[in-house]
Structure formats: C-alpha cells, structure tokens
A and B are shown apart, each in its own frame.
Chain A
C-alpha cells in the first residue's frame, strides 16, 4: 500500500479533525497505535484481546475503536477510511 500523508484541513473548533496516522499504511498505523496492547500485531492476547478471528461484527469493531472501553482501551479518532482499513487488516490476520 503506497504511503500517503493525509493532510489535516480546517479543523472544526468543536470536533477535532481526522488524525494524521502514519501516511495511511495500515501496518504502520497499527504499529503506531494498536500494537502496544494487541500483541503480535493482533494475533495474540496481551494487554488487550486477540483480534485475529474475532467474532465482533465490522460495526462493533468500528464502534469499539471510536468509543474505547473505560480503563481498558482509549477512543481513537480515525477517519472512516482508516477504520475500514483496520477492519480489513483484522479480518486478514493469520498466524505469523
């Protein structure tokens, strides 16, 4: 996937704009923000649950990333495109 730096334009004062996340290579995005808790790139349970083979629906995954879980996972402000890419990444996970 080609690295593209997504520019942050005109943020609304009341709602921060999309995050510039590692040029939108989802592997880099994951290593930047997710791999800390979702061990082995999401293939193993660690601080957070294993993502590989998750039974959560796409909508549930997206909701969880957007709202977090108090005391366990922060809420992230990814764009719709980034969230879609993360879901695809999770669905494609295979044992290393």
Chain B
C-alpha cells in the first residue's frame, strides 16, 4: 500500500465568524490523561482513556431531569445512513462528523455553526463500498480535528478554522474498496486508527500516525501480524492470510500505567466457513486465524504487539472483537479491563491481557455451548456447507458496536443486549486469491426470532466483573445507539424508534422521555458550555445493523428515513 503524506499550508485567515472563545490550553496528551478531571468537556471518543462513557456532571440529575427540554439542534446535510458518530465538546465548542466525511464545529450553547469541513471524495469509489458513507467519529488534539476518510486517508483539520492541515493516504482504497469509518484515538503523539476489513479480502491494518506531521509511523496487520512482530501467518492455511479480512474499525482504549493501547480486531474472511469441526486443517481458512476476533495490546509508540487474547479462535460467525469498549476500572486494589463483544459475551482481563472472567450478557447464544471463565470455547458450532437453522445470535451480534457505559458511583456497567437468531445456507466458496473489490461472505441467510420467543432487546445494569444483573429494561427492538451515564445518577438510552429516555441508574426507573422523531444510531455525551450542562445525542437511522428492522419488525421502521441526521441538544429550562 502506498503511503503519501502531504503537508498543506495553514490558511492565513482565521474564520471565527461568531465570536472567539477565550483562548484555552490546547488539547494534548496531558489533558487527555486527566480528562475525568474536566467533566465540562468530552475530549475523546470514549470520554476518557478509561472508556467509561460517563459524565461526572450532575446539574441534571434524578430530581430535575423531568424538566429536560431541547435547547437547540443542528441538521447534518447529506446524512446518508443517518448520524453514527460521537460528538466531542472542547471549551464550549461542539465538534462532530457526519456522512461523506463532513465535519462541523458549533457553539456548544447555541448551536450556531462556526465552520463546516467537506472532504473531496471519489463518488465512484464510495458507490462501491458497503460500510459507507457514514463516519463514526473524530479525535481532537494539538489544534487539530482528526478523521479517517472513506478513501483511506487520515486528515487533520484546523480546529479553529475548519481548514485542512494535512492528509495522509494510508490505505489503497481504490484497489481494496475499504477505507476508514471508525474514529481515531489520540495517544501521546500518535493518532491511531484501524481500517475496515472483515467482509473484504485484505489484511485489516491498524496505523499509528504522527499527530503533528501526519507521517505514518507504524502499521500492524491484524491478519497474520507483522514479520518479526507477532508473525502469525502460520495460523492461516495456505494463502488464506493474504485475503483474511480482519481490521480494527472501532477506537480502542489506553492504559497509561502499562503504556498499552487496547484494540479489538474484526472477523476473518470469508465470514462463514464450511470446514465443520475440522477447522484447523480444512475449510476456507484453516487454523485459528490470528489476530482476527482478538483483543490486542499494542505499544502506541512503535505499534509492536505486546500481548493478545483471541476471544474466538477461527471465528466462524462474524462476531468481531472490534465492537465493544475497553472499560478500565479498579476494584479491590486490582485493575480490570472489561470488553463486551459482538458474540454476546463479556470478557474481563487483567492489565496484561490475561482472562480473569467471561460472562454472558444475552440469553440466545448457541454458536458455542458456553465460554468458560478462563476463556475456553465449549461446544463450538462449526458448520459445513448446506442449510442450518437457529444460529444465535444473528449476524448483527448479541451486542453491536454501540457503546455501553460504566458508572463509578453505582459501580454498574450498562449495556444493550440483542436477542435474535438466524437461518443460513453456507456455500463452499472458491478461494479468493488476491485482494480485490468484492465481498467475501460465504452464505445466504435471514434473521429469525429465537425459538420459543420474540426477537427483542434489553438494557441492563450489571456488575462488570461478575455479570450479576442489578436491573433490566426490555425493548421491543434492540436499541442501536450508545448509552450515557452521569454523576446525576442518570442513564440515558436512545432507542431505535426515536425515544430518548432517562432512567435512574441505580434501579432502572424511567424518569423522563422525549421522542426525537427518528431512530438513534450514534453517540451521546454531556458537557458544559457557558456554565450550563447539556446532553447532546445523535439522531438519524440507517446503520447496517438496523437494515432488517423495516421488514422484520415493521411498524415505524417501514417509514423511517435512512438519509436524515440531526444532532439534538437538551438542557434544563
């Protein structure tokens, strides 16, 4: 893959059309390290490197949330596939990305637009992509807004002016079709971003780029690793590593005490194998297929692999480890890293990546009989070519890529679980020999209700280490947006139908709701601007996981637009 950096001269004109904020210290690594000391701001995708998706703000709390109303909103143009991103709030300004790699900066108190950034894209390339044209989010630091683009670049945008500072081509998207949809993560002086890949026959790279110059510093191939650093091509039979899929399409977490970046990797290709139980020696990709569907620990300075755990060896079900936050918390003097995965299981690690526990968040799971607390798969359901019924969960996962939340006051982790299954017919596909512009799925399938029940979703408050359930609320359709819990003891849940609800985080009692008029597929944060607390949520439906809702669940989903995006911001009167 060609890598070209281009430094673009910073424009002389500074476009602060609506009045300047008092100059604030740059967002840099030190500020990000102490992000939880700045609850007024939400400076990184997960809120902080601990990835709690928690706001300590408590002006809005259980006693007054019933008064919450819309303070302002902004309509995001060209919102094909809705609004799937996480906004960031820094020193009174709200920043967010939308489809076709647009970025906006808004006054956090009034919603007035400060600037809009538009990326020049090749429409023909975008037309060929499946996981497109949405963007999941940005990183901020050193005066820049960083974003991965659909055509495989990392761009740095001046956060004051909205002008492009530099762009670095990392992935040959024109050849491979895939690019970036996930948010980058800024750690020290590196911007780290992972490419898509699981459905496409390439090797799923993760990159580390110099945050100031834009120069690519390192790369780690999730399929097979790197020569001399975790080289694991021998876990792929024949040449299947060359087109193994993989990727790392969501931003990971960072543990400063061990200087380790935690990242989840995506599934191998083809998604569905025909090997049956002999997956180590036969089928489309014989072997464990490292480092797909794994949790990897990387050195942020060098990209070197420091450790890993493969959550699903030879993943035959498309249950990425790329989804799921890395919640870092301490209990009883010990540090844990909690990772919910698409499979429906939650892994609990120590800070070296050793499995401490595994617990299940959803009921309808039969791709394995169980996974032991040590992480061993029991009773794998490895399929052969032909028809299979009632595989659970459905390909969209027992959990999807929408984030959960950890609340240090309640000690609970909150997460959406999906109860649904599928029937499928696996084809013995011909090996894909070269990366090329086509999908590599391997089966025809359809979504089904779980046997003896109806497909549905739930949000539960759980002990993050043991999985013990404190409370649960059911939803007729799984919500596909992220959660936010706060110091005001609130849990905000944006659902698929369009309702944003606030619950008492301690016991799940519903305290407030508002219909935003369209489903939610993105992020939610809280911040202060002008001394007032706001809750900002993305509205706009159209993500791939929800594509079946119109035909499967019907109702409002049959009429719901998939090209509409509005960020809505709430406050007390």
Query: A: which residues have CB within 8 A of B?
Result: 3, 5, 8, 16, 19-23, 25, 27-28, 30-33, 35-42, 44-48, 67-68, 70-72, 74-77
Contact = CB atoms under 8 A, between A and B. Distances in A.
B542 interface: yes
Contacts of B437: 16, 19, 77
A68 B430 contact: no
B contact face: mostly helix, strand, loop, or mixed: loop
Given A21-B438, A46-B547, A71-B81, A35 B447 contact: no
Interface string B521-542: 0000000000000000000001
Contacts of A33: 438-439, 441
B433 A67 contact: no
Contact of A23 (B270, B430, B548): B430
Interface residues of B, number: 42
B255 interface: no
Contacts of B62: none
B548 A20 contact: no
A contact face: mostly helix, strand, loop, or mixed: loop
18 contacts: A19-B436, A22-B430, A28-B427, A31-B427, A32-B270, A32-B429, A33-B438, A35-B443, A35-B444, A36-B441, A36-B445, A39-B445, A40-B423, A44-B446, A46-B551, A70-B80, A74-B128, A77-B128
A35 B445 contact: yes
Contacts of B426: 31
B430 A28 contact: yes
Contacts of B199: 36
Contact of B446 (A3, A5, A40, A68): A40
Contacts of A5: 430
Contact of B444 (A8, A31, A47, A67): A31
Contacts of A30: 427, 444
Contact of A46 (B127, B432, B447): B447
Interface of B: 80-81, 124, 127-130, 132-133, 175, 199, 270, 423, 425-430, 432-434, 436-447, 542, 544, 547-548, 551-552, 562-563
B478 to A, nearest CB: 15
Contact of B438 (A3, A35, A46, A76): A76
Nearest to A47: B547
A41 B444 contact: yes
B80 A75 contact: no
B446 A67 contact: no
A78 to B, nearest CB: 9
Contacts of A71: 80-81, 133, 542, 562-563
B547 A32 contact: no
Given A31-B429, A75-B124, 10 more contacts: A16-B437, A20-B433, A22-B430, A30-B427, A39-B548, A68-B127, A70-B80, A74-B127, A74-B130, A77-B437
